[in-house]
Structure 1
Amino acid sequence: MVDYRNYKVWQKAHLLVIEVYQTTDAFPKKEQFGLVSQINRAVISIPTNIAEGCGRETQKELIRFLYISSGSAHELEYLIMLSKELNFINDEQFSNLSSKIEEIKKMLASLIKKIKQDL
Protein backbone atom coordinates (compact mmCIF):
# COMPACT_ATOMS: atom_id res chain seq x y z
CA MET A 1 0.00 0.00 0.00
CA VAL A 2 1.19 3.47 -0.91
CA ASP A 3 0.12 6.75 0.70
CA TYR A 4 -1.80 8.43 -2.13
CA ARG A 5 -0.90 11.86 -0.75
CA ASN A 6 2.70 11.25 -1.81
CA TYR A 7 1.78 11.11 -5.49
CA LYS A 8 2.20 14.45 -7.28
CA VAL A 9 -0.67 13.52 -9.59
CA TRP A 10 -2.98 13.12 -6.59
CA GLN A 11 -1.85 16.49 -5.20
CA LYS A 12 -2.54 18.23 -8.51
CA ALA A 13 -5.89 16.46 -8.90
CA HIS A 14 -6.90 17.50 -5.38
CA LEU A 15 -6.13 21.15 -6.15
CA LEU A 16 -8.07 20.82 -9.40
CA VAL A 17 -11.13 19.63 -7.46
CA ILE A 18 -11.07 22.78 -5.36
CA GLU A 19 -10.63 25.02 -8.40
CA VAL A 20 -13.38 23.32 -10.38
CA TYR A 21 -15.82 23.50 -7.47
CA GLN A 22 -15.11 27.23 -7.17
CA THR A 23 -15.59 27.65 -10.92
CA THR A 24 -18.87 25.72 -11.11
CA ASP A 25 -20.23 27.69 -8.17
CA ALA A 26 -20.69 30.58 -10.63
CA PHE A 27 -22.64 28.50 -13.17
CA PRO A 28 -26.36 29.23 -13.64
CA LYS A 29 -28.44 27.74 -10.83
CA LYS A 30 -30.54 25.85 -13.39
CA GLU A 31 -27.40 23.73 -14.07
CA GLN A 32 -26.93 22.73 -10.43
CA PHE A 33 -28.39 19.25 -10.97
CA GLY A 34 -27.22 18.93 -14.57
CA LEU A 35 -23.87 20.04 -15.86
CA VAL A 36 -22.51 21.24 -12.51
CA SER A 37 -23.28 17.92 -10.87
CA GLN A 38 -21.68 15.98 -13.74
CA ILE A 39 -18.54 18.15 -13.73
CA ASN A 40 -18.15 17.91 -9.97
CA ARG A 41 -18.59 14.12 -10.02
CA ALA A 42 -16.00 13.77 -12.79
CA VAL A 43 -13.39 15.99 -11.14
CA ILE A 44 -13.73 14.42 -7.71
CA SER A 45 -13.45 10.96 -9.24
CA ILE A 46 -9.87 11.66 -10.33
CA PRO A 47 -8.17 11.92 -6.89
CA THR A 48 -10.71 9.61 -5.27
CA ASN A 49 -9.81 6.72 -7.57
CA ILE A 50 -6.10 7.34 -7.07
CA ALA A 51 -6.67 7.14 -3.31
CA GLU A 52 -8.82 4.03 -3.58
CA GLY A 53 -6.30 2.30 -5.83
CA CYS A 54 -3.53 3.00 -3.33
CA GLY A 55 -5.57 1.23 -0.68
CA ARG A 56 -5.80 -1.96 -2.68
CA GLU A 57 -3.63 -5.02 -2.18
CA THR A 58 -1.93 -5.32 -5.55
CA GLN A 59 -0.29 -3.10 -8.13
CA LYS A 60 -2.66 -4.51 -10.77
CA GLU A 61 -5.60 -3.20 -8.76
CA LEU A 62 -3.89 0.18 -8.43
CA ILE A 63 -3.45 0.31 -12.20
CA ARG A 64 -7.14 -0.46 -12.70
CA PHE A 65 -8.13 2.49 -10.50
CA LEU A 66 -5.61 4.75 -12.23
CA TYR A 67 -7.31 3.90 -15.53
CA ILE A 68 -10.66 4.84 -14.00
CA SER A 69 -9.13 8.11 -12.82
CA SER A 70 -7.82 8.74 -16.33
CA GLY A 71 -11.28 8.09 -17.77
CA SER A 72 -12.72 10.67 -15.40
CA ALA A 73 -10.07 13.18 -16.51
CA HIS A 74 -11.09 12.64 -20.13
CA GLU A 75 -14.75 13.07 -19.20
CA LEU A 76 -13.94 16.29 -17.34
CA GLU A 77 -12.00 17.57 -20.34
CA TYR A 78 -15.12 17.28 -22.49
CA LEU A 79 -17.40 18.81 -19.85
CA ILE A 80 -15.10 21.83 -19.53
CA MET A 81 -15.11 22.23 -23.31
CA LEU A 82 -18.92 22.09 -23.28
CA SER A 83 -19.02 24.66 -20.47
CA LYS A 84 -16.91 27.00 -22.61
CA GLU A 85 -19.16 26.53 -25.63
CA LEU A 86 -22.22 27.29 -23.47
CA ASN A 87 -20.45 30.44 -22.21
CA PHE A 88 -20.47 29.27 -18.59
CA ILE A 89 -16.70 29.81 -18.42
CA ASN A 90 -14.51 32.30 -20.28
CA ASP A 91 -11.47 31.68 -22.48
CA GLU A 92 -9.02 32.17 -19.64
CA GLN A 93 -10.81 29.74 -17.33
CA PHE A 94 -11.08 27.21 -20.15
CA SER A 95 -7.39 27.46 -21.01
CA ASN A 96 -6.33 27.24 -17.36
CA LEU A 97 -8.49 24.23 -16.54
CA SER A 98 -7.72 22.46 -19.81
CA SER A 99 -3.97 22.71 -19.29
CA LYS A 100 -4.28 21.33 -15.75
CA ILE A 101 -6.45 18.45 -16.94
CA GLU A 102 -3.99 17.67 -19.74
CA GLU A 103 -1.10 17.63 -17.27
CA ILE A 104 -2.98 15.25 -14.97
CA LYS A 105 -3.83 12.95 -17.89
CA LYS A 106 -0.15 12.79 -18.86
CA MET A 107 0.93 12.17 -15.27
CA LEU A 108 -1.57 9.34 -14.91
CA ALA A 109 -0.38 7.75 -18.16
CA SER A 110 3.25 7.97 -16.98
CA LEU A 111 2.41 6.50 -13.59
CA ILE A 112 0.50 3.62 -15.17
CA LYS A 113 3.41 2.93 -17.51
CA LYS A 114 5.93 3.00 -14.65
CA ILE A 115 3.91 0.66 -12.46
CA LYS A 116 3.40 -1.74 -15.37
CA GLN A 117 7.15 -1.84 -15.99
CA ASP A 118 7.76 -2.69 -12.34
CA LEU A 119 5.35 -5.67 -12.41
Structure 2
Amino acid sequence: MSFKELDLWEKSIELVTDIYSLTKKFPKSEIYGLTMQMRRAAVSIPSNIAEGNGRGSSKEFIQFLIVSRGSLTELMTQVEISKRLGFIPKDESKDLLEKMERIMMMLNKLITTLRSKLNS
Protein backbone atom coordinates (compact mmCIF):
# COMPACT_ATOMS: atom_id res chain seq x y z
CA MET A 1 0.00 0.00 0.00
CA SER A 2 1.30 3.43 -0.94
CA PHE A 3 1.69 6.04 1.80
CA LYS A 4 -0.71 8.24 -0.16
CA GLU A 5 -3.46 5.69 0.52
CA LEU A 6 -2.99 5.96 4.29
CA ASP A 7 -5.63 8.07 6.04
CA LEU A 8 -2.94 8.80 8.63
CA TRP A 9 -0.73 10.41 6.00
CA GLU A 10 -3.64 12.47 4.62
CA LYS A 11 -4.62 13.71 8.10
CA SER A 12 -0.98 14.61 8.74
CA ILE A 13 -0.83 16.63 5.51
CA GLU A 14 -3.97 18.49 6.59
CA LEU A 15 -2.28 19.24 9.91
CA VAL A 16 0.70 20.75 8.07
CA THR A 17 -1.57 23.10 6.13
CA ASP A 18 -3.36 24.04 9.37
CA ILE A 19 -0.03 24.85 11.05
CA TYR A 20 1.19 26.93 8.11
CA SER A 21 -2.06 28.91 8.06
CA LEU A 22 -1.97 29.41 11.80
CA THR A 23 1.67 30.48 12.02
CA LYS A 24 1.19 33.08 9.25
CA LYS A 25 -0.63 35.08 11.94
CA PHE A 26 2.21 34.84 14.48
CA PRO A 27 4.25 37.94 15.30
CA LYS A 28 7.09 38.56 12.83
CA SER A 29 9.50 38.33 15.76
CA GLU A 30 8.66 34.60 15.93
CA ILE A 31 9.60 33.78 12.32
CA TYR A 32 12.86 32.11 13.47
CA GLY A 33 11.37 30.91 16.74
CA LEU A 34 8.09 29.11 17.18
CA THR A 35 6.94 29.60 13.59
CA MET A 36 9.89 27.69 12.11
CA GLN A 37 9.91 25.10 14.90
CA MET A 38 6.22 24.34 14.49
CA ARG A 39 6.40 24.15 10.72
CA ARG A 40 9.44 21.86 10.85
CA ALA A 41 7.79 19.53 13.37
CA ALA A 42 4.52 19.45 11.39
CA VAL A 43 6.25 18.68 8.08
CA SER A 44 8.25 15.92 9.76
CA ILE A 45 5.11 13.94 10.62
CA PRO A 46 3.85 13.01 7.11
CA SER A 47 7.40 13.04 5.72
CA ASN A 48 8.50 10.27 8.09
CA ILE A 49 5.31 8.30 7.43
CA ALA A 50 6.07 8.43 3.71
CA GLU A 51 9.76 7.61 4.08
CA GLY A 52 9.10 4.74 6.44
CA ASN A 53 6.47 3.30 4.13
CA GLY A 54 8.90 3.56 1.24
CA ARG A 55 11.56 1.52 3.02
CA GLY A 56 9.67 -1.69 2.33
CA SER A 57 10.32 -3.18 5.76
CA SER A 58 7.84 -3.25 8.64
CA LYS A 59 10.66 -2.90 11.15
CA GLU A 60 11.98 0.27 9.46
CA PHE A 61 8.46 1.60 8.96
CA ILE A 62 7.85 1.30 12.71
CA GLN A 63 11.03 3.30 13.43
CA PHE A 64 9.90 6.11 11.12
CA LEU A 65 6.42 6.07 12.67
CA ILE A 66 8.04 6.48 16.09
CA VAL A 67 9.94 9.51 14.75
CA SER A 68 6.63 10.89 13.44
CA ARG A 69 5.11 10.37 16.87
CA GLY A 70 7.99 12.27 18.46
CA SER A 71 7.49 15.17 16.05
CA LEU A 72 3.79 15.16 16.86
CA THR A 73 4.41 15.40 20.61
CA GLU A 74 6.90 18.19 19.94
CA LEU A 75 4.23 20.03 17.93
CA MET A 76 1.64 19.51 20.67
CA THR A 77 4.01 21.17 23.13
CA GLN A 78 4.64 24.08 20.76
CA VAL A 79 0.90 24.60 20.26
CA GLU A 80 0.45 24.73 24.04
CA ILE A 81 3.29 27.24 24.37
CA SER A 82 1.80 29.35 21.56
CA LYS A 83 -1.59 29.28 23.26
CA ARG A 84 -0.10 30.39 26.57
CA LEU A 85 1.77 33.21 24.84
CA GLY A 86 -1.50 34.38 23.27
CA PHE A 87 -0.48 33.58 19.68
CA ILE A 88 -3.32 31.07 19.23
CA PRO A 89 -6.91 31.64 20.37
CA LYS A 90 -8.10 29.05 22.89
CA ASP A 91 -10.78 27.61 20.56
CA GLU A 92 -8.30 27.19 17.69
CA SER A 93 -5.77 25.49 19.94
CA LYS A 94 -8.47 23.13 21.22
CA ASP A 95 -9.45 22.10 17.67
CA LEU A 96 -5.81 21.67 16.70
CA LEU A 97 -5.02 19.59 19.76
CA GLU A 98 -8.03 17.36 19.04
CA LYS A 99 -6.76 16.79 15.48
CA MET A 100 -3.32 15.96 16.83
CA GLU A 101 -4.79 13.51 19.37
CA ARG A 102 -6.61 11.72 16.53
CA ILE A 103 -3.37 11.50 14.55
CA MET A 104 -1.60 10.18 17.65
CA MET A 105 -4.21 7.44 18.03
CA MET A 106 -3.81 6.51 14.36
CA LEU A 107 -0.01 6.40 14.69
CA ASN A 108 -0.21 4.23 17.79
CA LYS A 109 -2.66 1.87 16.14
CA LEU A 110 -0.48 1.45 13.06
CA ILE A 111 2.64 0.89 15.18
CA THR A 112 0.80 -1.74 17.24
CA THR A 113 -0.54 -3.47 14.11
CA LEU A 114 2.89 -3.59 12.45
CA ARG A 115 4.54 -4.85 15.64
CA SER A 116 1.98 -7.63 16.01
CA LYS A 117 2.60 -8.72 12.40
CA LEU A 118 6.35 -8.81 13.07
CA ASN A 119 5.85 -10.96 16.17
CA SER A 120 3.50 -13.49 14.57
- TM-score class normalised by the smaller sequence: over 0.9
Instruction: Report how far residue 63 of structure 1 moved.
Output: 0.3
Aligned to 2:86: 87
Q: Deviations over 1:21-75 (max 9, x none)?
A: 0000000000001110000000110000000001103110000000000000000
Report the CA distance between 1:84 and its aligned residue.
0.1
Distance in 2, Cα, partners of 1:8 & 1:57: 19
Q: What's the TM-score, normalizing by structure 1?
A: 0.97
Structure 1 residues not aligned, in runs of 5+: none
Identical amino acids, percent of aligned pairs: 42
Amino acid of the structure 2 residue aligned with 1:37 = M
Query: Runs (4+) of structure 1 moved beyond 3 Å?
Result: none
Equivalent in the alignment of 1:30 = 29
Shift of 1:118: 1.0
Aligned length: 118
Mapping for residues 1-119 of structure 1, pairs under 5 Å = 2-119=1-118
- Point out where structure 2 has 5 or more consecutive residues left out of the alignment: none
Whole-Å separation in 1 of the counterparts to 2:12 and 2:57: 22
How far apart are the structure 2 equivalents of 1:73 and 1:41?
11
Q: How many angstroms apart in 2 are the aligned matches of 1:55 and 1:34?
A: 32
For 2:4 and 2:110, locate their aligned partners in 1 and report how far apart those are by CA, in whole Å.
Answer: 14
- Report the aligned-residue RMSD: 0.6
Aligned equivalents of 1:18 and 1:57: distance in 2?
Answer: 27
